């Protein structure tokens, strides 16, 4: 009789878990669609259409990481929430609506103020996004069982990135066919449909009770990850690496659009190849993760990312398109593993009760470092504007790639590989 009663309960629990994972997967479909059309090459192109300089583009690209500091306070405040779900829905909705409103700038703001207006809306939107991000990370870590976490996120990331590649190529075709304001208007129409669908799906997320921190005060809670020497050293090292990476990588689209004069369709193809490489790498990194720790594998991804920057130097002796294809594909392999393993590091190598503050501290430290990367990089391109053209096309990438490699084989070897 006992065995007969427990089996239906087990089946109901499994069914609920699968339902939750299905909702999380469905939510990601409209999300990746509008995020693809509002980010990357399309963000750079839209800013150029609004009249932004390389320094202003670098500042905008840096905003999303700098506002991660807010996550520290969010990690403390969620300990007092009765419902993670409805607070998440609120922050997500506000973020999506304000971000989508950047498309209204040319219609409601005088032309001389287009760029400042965009920056204000974009900053406010990502303030809410970083608050929602800590809630989503906390909730999704409870929704996905640790035993299936690697497999689930590998499958989810593969599907969503495949969809992202289609949107990326389609968006490039639209902008090549309808350049300027009309093309971006078409993109924003698609964006608003996806935003509405994305917000609607969040209503079906579960409201799972979560394990609260034993600390009730802000300062003691803040000190928990700061006193974890292993976590702090790894986070500071990764922050330094991301600073170097963000000096050049976020500005790739600027270099290709403004200096190399590549059209949107070709740029879309390059980004599609990068995403396909990233998707293919998920399976490999996932299988390696079964045998090796998150930190060790993180170390292995770093030389690959550095190599992708160094590849730009081949533009001095080889045709442009093959070099850019190689650089993008290598970067996709490296950053695919880095993002997947960094996420596993945050939600798998940290104490469950203190996880929100650990994730917030990681996001804040790496966010500040990543903020100064594109900010300095964008201004650097302005400063060297009168230098020989090769310095702006691949010279900066070579110097930064070498520094990334040097940092990896020195500090990275001790901090991550031996963990």
What's the mean pLDDT when you consider all of the chain?
84
Give the pLDDT confidence of 121-180 residue by residue, as tens digits: 999 998 898 888 878 877 887 787 777 766 777 778 778 888 888 898 899 889 888 877
- Would you state the pLDDT for residue 257? 83
Band of pLDDT at residue 10, cut at 50, 70 and 90: very low
DSSP per-residue string spanning 219-236: HHHHHHHHT-HHHHHHHH
Find, among 244, 258, 248, 261, the residue nearest to 58 by Cα. Answer: 248
Q: pLDDT (tens digit, 9 = 90+) per residue, 263-290?
A: 878 888 888 888 889 888 877 887 787 7
Helix spans in 178-318 (H): 181-202, 218-226, 229-248, 252-254, 264-291, 294-310
Which of the four pLDDT bands, split at 50, 70 and 90, describes residue 346?
A: low
Phi, psi of 154 (to 5 degrees): -65, -45
* Angle 119-120-124 from CA coordinates, rounded to 5°: 115
Q: How confident is the model at residue 1 (pLDDT cuts 50, 70, 90)?
A: very low
Contact 61, 374 (CB under 8 A): yes
Residue linked to tokens 């500091």 = 69
Structure confidence at residue 418 as a pLDDT band (50, 70, 90): low
In the predicted structure, residue 14 carries a pLDDT above the cut 60: no
- Asked if pLDDT for residue 215 goes beyond 80, the answer is no
By the 8 A CB rule, do 377 and 272 touch?
A: no
Q: Produce one character per residue of 318-345: b if its CB has 16 or more CB atoms within 10 Å, e if not.
A: eeeeebbbbbbbbbbbbbbbbebbbbbb
Is-contact 281 359, C-beta < 8 A? Answer: no
Higher pLDDT, 134 or 313: 313
Q: What is the pLDDT of residue 6?
A: 45
Per-residue pLDDT, 125:
93
Mean pLDDT of 239-268: 86
The rounded distance, in Å, linking the Cα atoms of 317 and 319 is 7
pTM for the complete prediction?
0.71
């Amino acid at each position: 009789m006992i065995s007969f009663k427990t089996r239906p309960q087990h089946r109901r629990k499994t069914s609920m878990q699968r339902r939750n994972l299905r909702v999380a997967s469905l939510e990601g479909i409209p999300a990746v669609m509008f995020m693809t059309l509002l980010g990357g090459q399309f963000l750079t192109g839209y800013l150029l259409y609004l009249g932004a300089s390389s320094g202003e583009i670098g500042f905008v690209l840096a905003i999303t990481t700098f506002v991660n500091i807010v996550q520290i306070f969010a990690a403390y405040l969620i300990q007092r929430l009765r419902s993670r779900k409805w607070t998440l829905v609120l922050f997500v909705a506000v973020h999506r609506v304000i971000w989508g409103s950047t498309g209204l700038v040319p219609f409601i703001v005088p032309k001389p103020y287009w760029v400042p207006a965009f920056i204000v809306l974009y900053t406010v939107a990502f303030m809410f996004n970083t608050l929602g991000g800590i809630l989503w990370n906390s909730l999704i870590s409870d929704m996905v069982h640790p035993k299936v976490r690697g497999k689930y996120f590998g499958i989810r990331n593969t599907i969503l990135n495949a969809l992202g590649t289609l949107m990326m190529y389609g968006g490039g075709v639209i902008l090549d066919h309808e350049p300027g304001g009309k093309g971006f208007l078409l993109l924003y129409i698609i964006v608003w449909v996806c935003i509405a669908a994305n917000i609607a799906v969040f209503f079906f997320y579960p409201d799972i009770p979560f394990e609260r921190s034993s600390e009730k005060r802000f300062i003691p809670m803040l000190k928990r990850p700061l006193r974890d020497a292993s976590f702090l050293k790894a986070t500071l090292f990764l922050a330094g690496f991301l600073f170097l990476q963000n000096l050049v990588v976020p500005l790739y689209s600027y270099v290709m659009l403004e200096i190399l004069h590549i059209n949107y369709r070709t740029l879309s193809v390059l980004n599609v190849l990068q995403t396909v490489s990233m998707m293919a790498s998920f399976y490999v990194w996932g299988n390696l993760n079964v045998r090796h720790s998150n930190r060790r594998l993180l170390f292995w991804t770093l030389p690959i990312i550095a190599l992708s920057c160094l590849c730009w130097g081949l533009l001095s002796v080889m045709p442009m398109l093959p070099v850019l294809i190689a650089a993008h594909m290598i970067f996709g392999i490296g950053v695919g593993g880095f993002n997947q393993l960094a996420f596993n590091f945050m939600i798998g190598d940290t104490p469950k009760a203190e996880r929100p503050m650990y994730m917030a501290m990681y996001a804040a430290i790496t966010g500040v470092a990543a903020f100064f990367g594109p900010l300095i990089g964008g201004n650097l391109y302005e400063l060297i504007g009168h230098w020989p053209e090769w310095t702006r096309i691949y010279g900066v990438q070579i110097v930064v790639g070498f520094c990334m490699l040097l940092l990896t084989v020195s500090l990275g070897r001790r901090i991550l590989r031996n963990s």
